[in-house]
Amino acid sequence: MSAPALFRQPPSPQRVMGRISTATQSVANGIAHVADAYAALPRTYIRRGQLSTEARIKLMIERLREYDADVVESTPQLLPASIASQLALSGKRTFAAPVGLPVAWLADGFDWKIDNGLTATEIEQTEGVVTAAFCGVADSGTIVLHHSATEGRRVLTLLPDWHLCILRASQVVETLPEYFSRCQQPPALVTWISGPSATADIEMTRIKGVHGPRFLHVILVREQL
């Protein structure tokens, strides 16, 4: 039963915070500086991986393939051709692209929709999307997007059914903590992608591609030394 607006009490941050402060009084008094306490927390878990570069890349590819992502390797020189090849193999024509995607990646012979403010409906009508990434985490086969100009707005990698992601070998780390060390500062937007969308809600049978792209393709670009 809601009281008439006139008599309804405003929600009370003070009330809730008051209770919390009282609740933690006993501990707050003991520790002068929250920051010091935070810094003293035990972190003996693995921070840096031990794998060689080669083993790390191999692991990333292996884990991606475990998710049924398709992975091909390429070099910076061959990259545009690799992209064109992947697009051709998909059998699709219309592709969305982030506004900052390198022009060299926009292969000829396809219908490109550059995201200069595409509507959801327009994105929905594309058949696939091509983006870069911020990082790859080999341990879990995770691709991390920070949604920069080359990675695209979040909706861009969500609505199309097919996603081609360009991942440079130098962007691949072994452990999740290593990804975090790479962030100069915490990003405002992140999407961690580990395989295509899936559900196991019906009898624990894993079904791929509920919402979100059902097909994930990765081109792993090995830069020359």
What part of residues 124-153 is at the interface with another protein (CB under 8 A)?
124, 137, 139-142, 147, 153
Per-residue x/- track, 6-25, another protein (CB under 8 A)? --x--xxx-xxx-xxxxxx-
**What part of residues 199-218 is at the interface with another protein (CB under 8 A)?**
199-205, 207, 209-212
Q: Return the range that interacts with another protein (CB under 8 A); candidates 71-79, 82-90, 115-123, 162-170.
A: 115-123
**What part of residues 74-113 is at the interface with another protein (CB under 8 A)?**
none
Min CB(108)–another protein separation in Å: 29
> How far apart (Å, rounded) are the C-alpha atoms in residues 138 and 60?
4
**What part of residues 42-71 is at the interface with another protein (CB under 8 A)?**
42-46, 63
Strands 198-199, 207-208: pairing kind: antiparallel
Please, which residue, 86 or 213, has the CB nearer to another protein? 213
Q: What is the distance between the terminal CA atoms of the chain, rounded to a whole angstrom?
A: 70
Please report the DSSP string for 81-145 in residue order: HHHHHHHHHHT--EEEE-TTS-GGGS-TTSEEEE-SS--HHHHHT-SEEEE--SEEEGGGTEEEE
Phi-psi region for residue 57, left (φ > 0), alpha (ψ -120 to 50) or beta? alpha
Min CB(29)–another protein separation in Å: 11
Size of the site for another protein (CB under 8 A): 72
Residue 121 binds another protein (CB under 8 A): yes
Please, which residue, 83 or 115, has the CB nearer to another protein? 115
Please, which residue, 93 or 206, has the CB nearer to another protein? 206
* One of 131, 163, 196, 215 touching another protein (CB under 8 A): 196
**Between the CA atoms of 77, 79, 82 and 88, what dihedral angle is there, to the nearest 10 degrees?**
-120
Q: CB–CB of 214/199 below 8 Å? A: no
Q: CB–CB of 97/112 below 8 Å? A: yes
